[in-house]
Amino acid sequence: MTEMVYGATPRQDGDPILPRWWRTIDKWSVSAILLLFAIGLLLGLAASPPLAERNGLHPFYYVERQVAFGVMAFAVMFATTMMSPQLVRRIGVVGFFFAFAALIMLPVFGTDFGKGAVRWYSLGFASLQPSEFLKPVFVITVAWLIAASQEIGGPPGKTMSLVLTTVVVGFLAMQPDFGQSALVLFGWGVMYFVAGAPYVLIVGAAGIVVMGGMVAYEHSEHFARRIDGFLSTEIDPTTQIGYATNAIREGGIFGVGVGEGQVKWSLPDAHTDFIIAVAAEEYGLFLVMVIIGLYATVVVRSFIRLIQERDPFIRLAGTGLTAMFGVQALINMGVAVRLLPAKGMTLPFVSYGGSSLIATGFAVGMLLAFTRTRPQGKIGDVLGHGRSGR
């Protein structure tokens, strides 16, 4: 009778954790994530052999590494999905301090691998990009601060979150990494808006972003070069954007055929930032639409579940993680079709990269933990309880 009134998920004492986890997890989102990774491996089989050949490695070197990274990423993801929201919050807040410390020390101990931006630590056998791990734990920390500010007698969490965001964005811009800076700022803006920010503040923040972009254009050659290339009416066919747009055009609706694409021989980042160009050329618009549909599945289903959540922290953190996940995919694909300036951002679960894959697995694991069905965890339960009490 209680379950009929409150709509709670049935639970018995001593219920095994795995069956309970399976009943409460969003199976559609999990399936979409697994399919995205499988598509990434399929595209990696096409995109990475030319790079491996140029580097004197065996043809499937990068695919094998991606499989290894994927095993670690999914182990982290599934372990995180089994955590309680309270444990996720604690790990996220503590993890933020470690990730932020790693970001601060990049100018001293980091490297740019010849790409003009100091974003990585070289570990010899692999590289580590702190900003990838910073994003999800930043969302958790900001959500915790904003949610705390909504409690009676709570701290000025909204102001603290703004200060924290400004500091993080400043350090990211110093690398320079304007793509991740914009993503972090966007994530904070979404959570702040959901928490009830006035429109004047949102417009003011947008104005500051525009002014910051103008300052960056004037004082950063790296930033100015990318903006000029984006605004140019002509595309240099020998640039990455030129190769990518031509590949997408050649692919058409159904592609040129498996293994028949040529862009992978020209693009140095065909297996990472521009892997969607490989998909479009060899498999056509059809596969691109499938990929977009899978991302949309995760985003829409997550938002639907979060709308029903009554815990402010879970609602804010889940919204921030979902928004970042979807917008990162949007930015990556937008760059490839020249709708956005080049930003050097991976396509989640599809692009090659250990830091990106493991960090995204952690982020999605937290999101799936927040969107699990919990007894009396929906905002509708409160309304239903109020009606039953009258």
Nearest 5 degrees, angle CA 163-CA 165-CA 170? 100
C-beta separation of 214 from 322 below 8 A: no
Structure tokens at 37: 């990774």
Q: How far is CA 102 from CA 97, 98, 110, 168, 183, in A?
A: 9, 6, 9, 12, 19
Residue 136 tokens, joined: 């999800």
Residue 314 confidence (pLDDT): 95
pLDDT score for 147: 94
Helical ranges in 130-198 per DSSP H: 130-149, 157-174, 178-194
Q: What is the pLDDT of residue 236?
A: 62
Q: What is the pLDDT of residue 389?
A: 45
Calpha distance 122→105 (Å, rounded): 13
Radius of gyration of the chain (CA): 22
Single out the residue of 157, 180, 119 nearest to residue 328, CA to CA.
180
Tens of each residue's pLDDT in the chain, 390 residues: 334 333 444 445 456 788 888 889 999 999 999 999 999 999 998 888 888 888 888 888 999 999 999 999 999 999 999 999 999 999 999 999 999 999 999 988 888 776 767 888 888 777 888 999 999 999 999 999 999 998 888 889 888 998 999 999 989 988 878 888 889 999 999 999 888 877 777 777 777 777 777 776 676 666 666 676 666 666 666 677 788 888 888 888 888 888 788 888 887 777 888 899 999 999 999 999 999 999 999 999 999 999 988 899 999 999 999 999 999 999 999 888 888 877 778 899 999 988 899 999 999 999 999 999 876 545 554 444 444 444
At residue 219, the pLDDT reads 67
> How confident is the model at residue 71, as a pLDDT?
96
Give dist(CA 78, CA 85) in Å, integer: 14
pLDDT at 167: 94
Report long-range pairs for 169-174 (Cβ below 8 Å, ≥24 apart): 171/100, 171/103, 171/104, 172/103, 172/131, 173/212, 173/216, 174/107
The C-alpha atoms of residue 264 and residue 271 are separated, in whole angstroms, by: 8
pLDDT on residue 188: 93
DSSP category for residue 122: E
Q: Cα(327)–Cα(186) distance, rounded to whole angstroms?
A: 9
Evaluate whether 310 touches 377 at the Cβ level (below 8 Å). Answer: yes
| Distances from the Cα of 383 to the Cα of 1, 109, 150, 380, angstroms | 17, 54, 20, 5
